[in-house]
């Protein structure tokens, strides 16, 4: 690791813990107050934590921004050039969440990795059943639901009679899909495929335990960040406000008691679940990526640009165009949330998505809706703006009014007169 001061001759340090502490002491002895560090995978995190704990100002910079001149690629020259730019205040710091949010982020990302691994073992179970000509996954909604797990456990114990296996399923399945389930449970019971099914089922159970362990650590982290509960103060009873309709948690939502209250407390009392497509789990993931202090972005525009959901601009002479941005994890989360509104009938943003998809296609519409969701997220967190759902009917009425005004402007330019229809006259 090469460490120069103000572009001077760099010193070389190792990456083990004792060398990192030696680097910290070396910087403090020379009166260094601010340090620019390039992000390289996960290797910068230990050094960042050591120097941050020492009270030094840390700037995480993009290495591409320091290599706009030729001959700066080698580590020796690159670090000297970066230190020179930093000494002159020419480097822009990237966003790094605080230490407590980074700790929560690590737990959430680890949990997401376990969910991906568990889903791979669900596919392995489906493959093993397919090889045995058992079509259980075609007639029930989920192999890892209550009925699916009971049937698979019975198969691994040696049960083969379709009627006995059907009796383990939910009552609704027995009433509505009895014949289909019996036909799907007839197969060839090869030992190698039963062995594969057993391993996949055991692995899925193992990852469920790992996910539950992550939930416990996430709960501890949330309680540590949000602080102790404040004692209730006797006061005049506030006006009764109808609580928003509780959103159904997803299959992979964390099993944390009082998650909604912890998350609201973490956001300073702001309940962001009033926003469309925002659930406690999705908000927990977003807060793990961006934290609760969004004042680093002065408006919602730089925030959406950082997320990668806003188009970039490029100009060369008289030529102007847009360039795509790379979406980070938080930006991809907003895109996933936007997809859930594609078929929502009573929500105005769902109407916006369908209108945009008809003009520009589904991909552009998803990105545009993700940008709107991100803007509202920033406004509620920073400005405390209240979101009020206007409804699909009011949104469509606004769209028609916008088209009507555009038609009036076009008619004025062409010296024409717009005559309302008889139906329009009767409505007015």
Residue at token pair 């706009």: 68
Q: What is the distance between the alpha carbons of residues 339 and 246, in angstroms, rounded to a whole number?
A: 20
pLDDT value for 241: 41
What pLDDT does residue 159 have? Answer: 92
Q: Which pLDDT score is estimated for 191? A: 93
- The distance between the two most distant Cα atoms of the chain, rounded to a whole number of Å, is 85
Buried b (16+ CB within 10 A) or exposed e, 341-358: beebeebbbbbbbbebbe
Q: Is the pLDDT confidence value at 238 over 70?
A: no
**Count of alpha carbons within 13 Å of 89, Cβ hemisphere only?**
0
What is the torsional sign of CA 213, 214, 219, 221? positive
Residues 6+ apart with CB under 8 A from 80: 4, 7, 8, 9, 10
Look up residue 106 and give its two tokens: 């690590």
Gap between the terminal Cα atoms of the chain: 76
- With pLDDT > 90 as the criterion, what percentage of the chain qualifies? 41
Render pLDDT for 153-205 as a digit per residue (tens, 0 to 9): 999 999 999 999 999 999 999 999 999 999 999 989 999 999 999 999 999 99
Name all contacts of 327-333 with Cβ < 8 Å and 24+ positions apart: 328/289, 329/289, 330/286, 330/289, 330/290, 331/307, 331/370, 331/374, 333/282, 333/285, 333/286, 333/289
**Which one is the CATH code of 101-226: 3.40.1350, 1.10.10, 1.10.3470, 1.10.287?**
1.10.287
The vertex-401 CA angle with 357 and 406, nearest 5°, equals: 85
Computed over every residue of the chain, the mean pLDDT equals: 85
With cut-offs at 50, 70 and 90, classify the pLDDT of residue 218: very high
DSSP string, 179-202: HHHHHHT-----HHHHHHHHHHHH
36: left (phi over 0), alpha (psi -120 to 50) or beta: beta
Contact indicator for 320, 314 with CB cutoff of 8 Å:
yes
Can you read off the two tokens belonging to residue 409? Answer: 């402007």
For range 46-58, the mean pLDDT: 90
Q: Residue 237's pLDDT is what?
A: 44
Residue 242 pLDDT? 47
391 confidence band (pLDDT: 50, 70, 90)? low
pLDDT at 209: 96
Check residue 72 and give its pLDDT.
61
What local confidence, expressed as pLDDT, does residue 247 receive?
A: 59
> How much is the pLDDT for 208?
95
Q: How far apart (Å, rounded) are the C-alpha atoms in residues 273 and 260?
A: 9
The model's confidence at residue 240, banded by pLDDT at 50, 70 and 90, is very low
- Greater confidence, 63 or 258? 258
Number of DSSP helices (H) and strands (E) in the chain, helices first: 18, 6
Please compute the mean of the pLDDT values over residues 370-377 and round it to a whole number. Answer: 92
Neighbours of 314 (CB within 10 A): 10
Going by pLDDT thresholds of 50, 70 and 90, the confidence category of residue 68 is low
Element (H, E) at 265: helix 259-266
Q: What is the pLDDT at residue 235?
A: 46
pLDDT score of 246? 55
Q: How many CB atoms lie within 10 A of CB 300?
A: 20
- Mean pLDDT along residues 259-286: 88
DSSP 296: T
Percent of the chain with pLDDT over 70: 89
Task: Give me 287's structure tokens.
Answer: 């807060």
């Amino acid at each position: 690791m090469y460490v120069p001061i103000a572009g001077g001759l760099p010193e070389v340090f190792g990456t083990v813990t004792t060398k990192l502490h030696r680097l910290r002491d070396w910087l403090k002895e020379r009166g260094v107050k601010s340090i620019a560090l390039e992000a390289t995978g996960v290797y910068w995190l230990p050094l960042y934590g050591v120097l941050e704990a020492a009270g030094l100002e840390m700037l995480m910079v993009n290495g591409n921004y320091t290599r706009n001149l030729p001959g700066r690629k080698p580590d020796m020259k690159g670090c000297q050039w970066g230190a020179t730019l930093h000494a002159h205040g020419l480097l822009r710091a990237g966003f790094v969440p605080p230490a407590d949010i980074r700790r929560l982020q690590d737990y959430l990302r680890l949990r997401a990795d376990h969910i991906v691994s568990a889903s791979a073992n669900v596919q392995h179970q489906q493959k093993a059943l397919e090889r045995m000509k058992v079509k259980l996954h075609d007639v029930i909604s989920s192999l890892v639901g209550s009925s699916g797990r009971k049937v698979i456990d019975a198969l691994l114990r040696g049960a083969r009679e379709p009627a006995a296996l059907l009796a383990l399923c939910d009552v609704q399945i027995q009433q509505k899909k009895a014949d289909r389930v019996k036909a799907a449970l007839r197969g060839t019971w090869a030992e190698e495929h039963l062995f594969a099914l057993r391993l996949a089922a055991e692995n899925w159970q193992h990852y469920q335990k790992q996910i539950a362990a992550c939930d416990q650590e996430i709960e501890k982290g949330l309680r540590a960040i949000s602080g102790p509960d404040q004692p209730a103060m006797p006061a005049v009873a506030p006006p009764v406000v109808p609580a928003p309709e509780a959103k159904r948690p997803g299959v992979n939502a964390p099993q944390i008691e009082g998650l909604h209250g912890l998350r609201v407390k973490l956001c300073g009392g702001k309940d962001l679940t009033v926003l469309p497509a925002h659930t406690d789990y999705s908000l927990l993931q977003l807060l793990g990526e961006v934290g609760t202090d969004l004042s680093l972005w002065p408006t919602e525009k730089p925030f959406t640009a950082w997320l990668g959901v806003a188009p970039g601009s490029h100009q060369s002479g008289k030529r102007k165009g847009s360039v795509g941005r790379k979406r980070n994890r938080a930006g991809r989360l907003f895109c996933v949330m936007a997809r859930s509104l594609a078929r929502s009938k009573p929500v105005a943003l769902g109407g916006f998505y369908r209108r945009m998809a008809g003009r520009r296609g589904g991909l552009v519409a998803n990105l545009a809706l993700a940008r709107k969701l991100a803007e509202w997220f920033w406004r509620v967190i920073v400005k405390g703006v209240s979101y009020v759902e206007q409804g699909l009917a009011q949104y469509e009425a606004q769209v028609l009014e916008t088209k009507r005004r555009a038609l009036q402007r076009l008619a004025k330019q062409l010296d024409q007169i717009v005559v309302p229809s008889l139906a329009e006259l009767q409505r007015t």
